[in-house]
Structure 1
Amino acid sequence: MLTLTAAAPAPLSRTTASDRDPLRVALVQHRWRDDAAELARVLRGGIDRAAGEGARVVFLPEITLLRYPADVQAGPNPGDAAEELTEGPTFALAAEAARANGIFVHASLYEKSPAADGLGYNTAILVSPSGELVGRTRKMHIPISAGYYEDTYFRAGPAENAYPVYEPEGLGARLGMPTCWDEWFPEVARSYSLGGAEIVVYPTAIGSEPVFPAFDTQPLWQQVIVANGINSGLFMVVPNRTGNEGALSFYGSSFISDPYGRVLVSAPRDEEAVLVADLDLDQRRDWLELFPFLLTRRPESYGALTAPVDPERPYGAGHAATAVVK
């Protein structure tokens, strides 16, 4: 497994000295295996390697232990592969690795729900060095198009407290934990920023477009996440999968970026990797002092953004609704 590291680059607009030490974070980009024990060994090896490099928190990709299910539409029992939040294999892996290394470990799972329709939640978790659950966030935006039929597996997270920010004791940072499709929405990044987040992590499973195999969305994907980090003053940590799974080929390219829009470290498309980066967290403050987006907002003018979606005009006034690519 490849290991790439990056020191914190110099601040570009600092006017006040920082008294915070850089926070060393890491992510693991992995390929899924159908041998559960082998997959767990690979992930644990990546976490251990990141901890050995000094990372205080390690982030893992979306639905970490499962083959990505939504390349095909779900059958009558969509939640068969779902697991209990703290009694399943994902929490067990994260908690064991966290305790063994004395670090925080973030992971993602298909969380069981008791609802009759069988749909579960796509849930990100954060586990403390003592093996305790200290954060949980359910994916809010659910994709519905070809190759990503997640609406047939997952229910959206509740609108109440949708974007929680965690500041676990001992980490020294404020963290938001949305998931994958959430990364395309500027409203999500802005909500986390206003909630005080410094780092936003998006566990991700993204790759090819089955209906349009020649369309490579990787550059767009990276650009929009980096841009949302710029306009909301956030460090972005984005662990993606790599490798082929059913109808999809995941394009890796995991990365970590800063509020200035600099990609600090990035992974190849087709190789498993551990990325390690030092974050100078006061660069969020520096950037937002120079470009004070949050201070100069005009929320009283944004009513259209909070109006319910009109299925007859989802693209806005003057644009007829068209069918989603299935």
Structure 2
Amino acid sequence: MLTLTATAPPPLSRSTESQRAPLRVGLVQHRWRPDADELAAALRAGIDRAAAEGATAVFLPEITLLRYPADQPGGDDPGALAEDLAGGLTVTLAADAARAHGIFVHASLYEKAPGPDGLGFNTAILVDPAGNLVARTRKLHIPISAGYYEDTYFRPGPAVDPYPVYAPDGLGARIGLPTCWDEWFPEVARSYSLGGAELLVFPTAIGSEPVFPDFDTRPLWQQVIVANGISSGLFMVVPNRVGDEGSVTFYGSSFISDPYGRVLVQAPRDEEAVLVADLDLDQRRDWLELFPFLLTRRPDTYRRLTEPVDPQRPYGAGHRRTAVVK
């Protein structure tokens, strides 16, 4: 497993000296394995390696312990793949690693949530160094197109407290935990930023487009995440997976970026990797002092953004409705 590290680059617009030590974070980019014990061992080895490099928090990809299920539509009982939050395999893996190293460990799971629709939640979690679950956020935006039929597995997260920001004791940062498809929406990054987040972590499972195999979305994916970090003054941590899983080939390329839009460290497309980077968190303040996006907003003009979605006008007024690619 490849290991790449990066120290914090100098701030580009520091106007007030920082009194904060850099936050060293890590992520693991992994390949799914059908043998559950082998998969858990590979993930644990990645966490161990990041901890050995001094990471105080380590982040894992989306639906960490499962083969990505949504490359095909869900059947009659899609929730059969889900697990309980408390005492489930994912929380147990994260808690054991966190206690072993005295660090924070993040993971993602298909959370069991019994109901008449048979669906569950796509949930990101954070465990503290004592092994306690200290943060949980359910994915809000659910993809519906070919190869990513997540609406047949996952319910959208609730509209009540949709963008929770956590500041667990000992982490030294204010953190948000959205998931994958959420990363494409500028409203998500902006909402977290207004809530005081400094760092967003997007556990991710993204790769090829089964209907358009020659269309490589990787550059667009990275550009939009980095851009959302710039426009909202956020560090972005994005752990993806690699390898073929059914009709989707995941393109890795996990990365960590800063509010200036610099990619601090990046994994390859097709290899398991551990990334570790130092974050100078006051660079958020520096950037937003120079380019005060939050201060100069015009929320009185954004009414259209909060209107209900009109399924008959999915591309906006004046455009004919066409079908989503399935």
* TM-score bracket for this pair, using the shorter chain length: over 0.9
Q: Equivalents in 1 of 2:130, 2:118: separation in Å?
A: 33
Structure 1 unaligned blocks of 5 or more: none
Task: Give the deviation of 1:321 after TM superposition.
Answer: 1.1
Amino acid at match of 1:196: G
In the TM superposition, what are the counterparts of 1:123-142 in structure 2 within 5 Å? 123-142=123-142
Correspondence 1:68 to 2:58: no
Matched, 1:119 2:112: no
Counterpart amino acid of residue 278 in structure 1: D
Q: Spell out, residue by residue over 1:109-134, the C-alpha distance to the aligned partner (whole angstroms, 9 max, x if none).
A: 00000212110000000000000000
Per-residue deviation, residues 129-174 of structure 1 (Å, max 9, x unmatched): 0000000000000000000000000000000000100000000000
Aligned counterpart, 1:161: 161
Please state how far the C-alpha of 1:315 moved relative to its aligned partner.
1.0
- Distance across 2 between alignment mates of 1:144 and 1:251: 20
Identity percentage over the alignment?
79
Structure 1 distance, partners of 2:265, 2:319, is 40
**Which residue is 2:325 aligned to?**
325
Deviations 1:63-104 (A, max 9, x none): 000000000000000101100002210000000000000000
**Structure 1 residue aligned with 2:150:** 150
State the partner residue of 1:255.
255
Does 2:270 correspond to 1:270? yes
Cα distance in structure 2, aligned partners of 1:245 and 1:286: 42
**Amino acid paired to 2:242:** T
TM superposition shift of 1:298: 0.2
**TM-score w.r.t. length of structure 2:** 1.00
Runs ≥4 in structure 1, deviation > 4 angstroms? Answer: none
Partner in structure 1 of residue 226 of structure 2: 226
1:292 aligns with 2:292: yes
TM-score normalised by length of structure 1: 1.00
Report the AA paired with residue 247 of structure 2. A
Q: CA deviation at 1:299?
A: 0.3
Residue type of the alignment partner of 1:26: G
**Distance (whole Å) between structure 1 residues aligned to residue 253 and residue 277 of structure 2:** 15
Structure 2 CA distance for aligned equivalents of residues 115 and 53 of structure 1? 43
Tell me how far apart the structure 1 counterparts of residues 205 and 20 of structure 2 sit (CA, whole Å).
33
Unpaired runs of at least 5, structure 2:
none
> 1:241 maps to what in 2?
241
Counterpart in 2 of 1:77? 77
SS at match of 2:284: helix
Shift of 1:5: 0.1
Residue 23 of structure 1 and its aligned partner are, at CA, apart by: 0.3
Q: In the alignment, residue 86 of structure 2 is paired with which amino acid?
A: T
The equivalent residue for 2:106 is: 106
Q: Give, in whole Å, the separation in 2 of the partners of 1:255 and 1:264.
A: 7
Q: Which AA in structure 2 matches 1:98?
A: A
Aligned partners of 1:280 and 1:320: how far apart in 2?
47
* Equivalent in the alignment of 2:314: 314
Q: Distance in 2 between matches of 1:224 and 1:73?
A: 27
- Pairing 1:171–2:178 present: no
CA distance in 1, matches of 2:314, 2:45: 45
CA distance in 2, matches of 1:314, 1:271: 37
Q: Secondary structure at the match of 1:165?
A: coil
Matched to 2:48, the amino acid is D
CA distance in 2 between partners of 1:167 and 1:310 (Å): 36
Match of 2:198 in 1: 198
